[in-house]
Amino acid sequence: MKNAVVILVLLACFSCETSSNDAVVVDIRIDMTIEDRQGNDLLNPETENSIQQDDIRVYYEIDGKKETYLSCHKDKNVILDNPAGFLIYPEDALGKFQLSVFSNPTQGEAITIIELEGHDDVTLKAQVSRENGNTIVRKVWYQGNLVWPTETNNGPAYVQVVLD
């Protein structure tokens, strides 16, 4: 239910006017796992020195400034279900917790910065397209490398982050 509300809010925020027969797609979610060099799941609250929800901040680089997900929506009279711009999901099929962030929706090259208290920032660069009212992440780079889509990573947008 929470995902449905988030999707509806995103549709309201980023959609252009369309006729009643047109569908609008907003697909700007990027999922990631975060591990240390030993492979420990740092999003799992049972892991020593894990990253807690209060340790995470999501920013967008817009016109050379860092903007929060919330600040990008404050003038749109929208009540956001998740004003932090991210969600943490419990263990997936691979046994890892996942952090899902809503990418910077700026068309073209869009930078999303995830601050993790006590760790280096995670910076993602995405190629975002806006066509026919749709806003879609087409590619994602992490540490200068294209990480999605690739031959081995061609499902939903996914990044594996390994921290020191």
The pLDDT tens digits of the residues spanning 114-151 come to: 999 999 999 999 999 998 889 999 999 999 999 999 99
**pLDDT of res. 80:** 62
User: Residue 69 — φ and ψ, nearest 5°?
Assistant: -55, -45
Q: What is the pTM of this model?
A: 0.79
Distance in angstroms (rounded) separating the CA atoms of residues 121 and 124? 10
**What's the structural domain count of the chain?**
1
Q: Which domain holds residue 64?
A: 2-163
Of 45-49, 50-54, 94-98, 99-103, which range is least confident?
94-98
Name the range with the highest mean pLDDT among 14-18, 82-86, 97-101, 154-158. Answer: 97-101
